[in-house]
Amino acid sequence: MREVQGQPLPLGINISGDHVNFSVAVPEGERCWLLLYRAGEEEPKERYEMTEAIGEVRFLALEGMDPADYEYNYMIGGEVTVDPYARGLAGRDIWGKERDIQKHEVRGVLKNGRYDWEGDEPLKLPFHSIVAYSLHVRGFTKHTSSGVEKKGTFSGVVEKLPYLKDLGINQIQCMPVYEFEECGRFRNYWGYGQAYYFAPKSAYAASGDGERELKDMVKACHKEGIEVVLEMPFTGDTSKQLMEECLRYYCLEYHIDGFLLNPYVAPMDAIHADPILKHTKILVHDTGFQTVMRRFLKGDEGMVRDVMYWLRHQSETKEILNMITGQTGFTLRDLVSYDGKHNEANGEQNQDGPDYNYSWNCGAEGPSRKKAVTELRKNQTRNAFFLLLLAQGTPCILAGDEFGNTQKGNNNVYCQDNPVGWLDWSGLEKHPELHDFVKELIAFRKKHPVFWPEKEMTGMTYSKKGVPDVSYHGENAWRVPLEVSSRQLGVYYSGTDRTGEGDEDCFVAYNMHWLEHTFALPALPRGKKWYRIASTQEGILDKAEPLDDQKFAEVKERTIMIFSGR
């Protein structure tokens, strides 16, 4: 092994056969050494002072070495420093084990990057066709009820792919999967904060090899027609250059289909202009849909105009997801079971977590055996899924909502690495009817293109029938109920699209009031009739039922009904 002329870019390591280039940013005036370790050892075997510099970048290269035999760190200013561009870390394969970098217990790994992708590539599914599912890789299968062999790992997610595919999911969105530090005053279960962003978390790998198992998971997902999106919540002090390089790296090295970013931190304009990243899915959290639909669900007044907007809205840059619930906040079951957060177990006197949840406990705080309360909660849960899956944008389901998972009123489980934060799969046995309802509703959405058009509907007419692509109604046809007191809305979707082709006409009657309301049904073209095809209480009907009255429909309190014009 001998030292040869190195290159300042790219930062990090660059391996070509037995030639390895090392490059790292070092504060001006500080000395820097490259520390080389035999793989698995915690004492450096070799030290090389890095004197070559351009600006604040130090670099050198070594020839005649087998990268797989070595690990590395830097000594900068008298402190052991892990390369922020490290592609993998040794010594962090055991979750929750505290490690001391200064004692060389954490080291960067050198790998040649060879992996058999078997022809795999990102799926590039049309954005409007996505039904997404948000999960935490560890929490998704860590619970004893998960039934998988390799709990809490990338491999555990792979074991659950048949379930996700059967449900109708074609995209998973994963909370941070890179090397974050979970040990601290409180357990960093979610993974936010400073991290080694280029290195997949080895504690999420059953074999300890995070790089290989993340690739295995992505490849397995793609074989099932499921995209993989990674949440990358970089900290505010992360350089814009590192963020862009990191996203490109995951696109190229891991075939990732998209990223969920914090638009207040990430350089969104540069990312959208990047020749590689501009062709991947770039998503952001937006609480607009969530807030409006939660308030409409619980019966707040003055919501109809905003509901109309969010039912048809599609972001021009296709960044925004529609979510009723997410990792931050209540699960859906808790949303209809608690008026206030219950985060006492977090050790912060219930001061953490969002205070405004727009939730409603349906008459009792927390678990209840009262039949009226439990039935109302079931009803509201179904209404929530209707609001989510009948809206025009891209829906994203929080893992476990489809079978009533609860966090016992905790709306900020960032530190709950235990059954409170993990997904309890026993809900599938306790609430099979909810799971089946959600599965059928996803299939219903996919069957009816009027609920997932490629372009946002405009309210304009595209057919000879003279009917707009979308129109809004109330107790009178063609009259929008915009009074402040209104808590009901009828939405008529014309089945004829811009090309003259399309779907059946559909009319959705949303009654979020605590009183029954009559909805006027728009007149259909000659030869067609209105049929009831779904409702909150009945779910998706096996057989459409023709209406006796073709002009009006009675819709019970806190109920959503779907009618089809055939």
Does the structure show a pLDDT above 90 at 502? no
Scored b (16 or more CB within 10 A) or e, 19-48 reads ebbbbbbbeeeeebbbbbbeeeeeebeeee
User: 3-class DSSP state for residue 374?
Assistant: helix
Tokens of 313: 């809205």
Q: Under a CB-based contact definition with an 8 Å cutoff, are residues 197 and 253 in contact?
A: no
Residue range 233-247: average pLDDT? Answer: 96
What's the confidence (pLDDT) of residue 525? 83
pLDDT digits (tens, 9 = 90+) for 63-75: 999 999 999 999 9
* C-alpha 366, offset from chain centre: 27
What distance in Å separates the CA atoms of residue 337 and residue 368, rounded to the nearest whole number? 9
What's the confidence (pLDDT) of residue 467? 85
Tokens of 222: 């793609």
- Residue located via tokens 């998988």: 148
What's the confidence (pLDDT) of residue 315? 76
What's the confidence (pLDDT) of residue 306? 97
pLDDT category, 83, cuts 50, 70, 90?
A: very high
Does the structure show a pLDDT above 70 at 317? no
What distance in Å separates the CA atoms of residue 338 and residue 412, rounded to the nearest whole number? 14
Count CA within 13 A, CB hemisphere, residue 454: 6
pLDDT digits (tens, 9 = 90+) for 268-284: 999 999 999 999 999 99
Rg of the chain, C-alpha, whole Å: 27
Q: Cβ contacts of residue 71 below 8 Å, gap of 6+?
A: 36, 37, 38, 39, 40, 41, 90, 107, 108, 109, 110
What's the confidence (pLDDT) of residue 461? 79
Cis peptide before 10 (omega within 30 of 0): yes
Residue 500: how many other CB atoms lie within 10 Å = 9
Summary mean pLDDT of the chain = 95
What's the 3-state SS for 314-343?
Answer: CCCCCCEEECCCCCCCCCHHHHCCCCCCCC
pLDDT digits (tens, 9 = 90+) for 438-478: 999 999 999 999 999 988 998 887 666 678 999 999 989 89
Does the structure show a pLDDT above 70 at 501? no
Nearest to 456 by CA among 508, 503, 493, 488: 493
Count CA within 13 A, CB hemisphere, residue 55: 8
Window from 168-182, 455-469, 502-516 with minimum mean pLDDT: 455-469
What's the confidence (pLDDT) of residue 495? 83
Does the structure show a pLDDT above 90 at 519? yes
pLDDT digits (tens, 9 = 90+) for 249-269: 999 999 999 999 999 999 999
What's the confidence (pLDDT) of residue 341? 97
Nearest to 555 by CA among 504, 529, 505, 521: 521
What's the 3-state SS for 11-63?
Answer: CEEEEECCEEEEEEECCCCCCEEEEEEECCCCCCCEEEECCCEECCEEEEEEE
pLDDT category, 408, cuts 50, 70, 90?
A: very high
Does the structure show a pLDDT above 80 at 503? no
Nearest to 104 by CA among 8, 13, 37, 176: 37
pLDDT digits (tens, 9 = 90+) for 92-149: 999 999 999 999 999 999 976 689 999 999 999 999 999 999 999 999 999 999 999 9
pLDDT category, 309, cuts 50, 70, 90?
A: very high
Residue range 8-14: average pLDDT? Answer: 96
What distance in Å separates the CA atoms of residue 106 and residue 74, rounded to the nearest whole number? 11
What's the confidence (pLDDT) of residue 463? 66
Tokens of 72: 């590395």
Q: Under a CB-based contact definition with an 8 Å cutoff, are residues 280 and 256 in contact?
A: yes
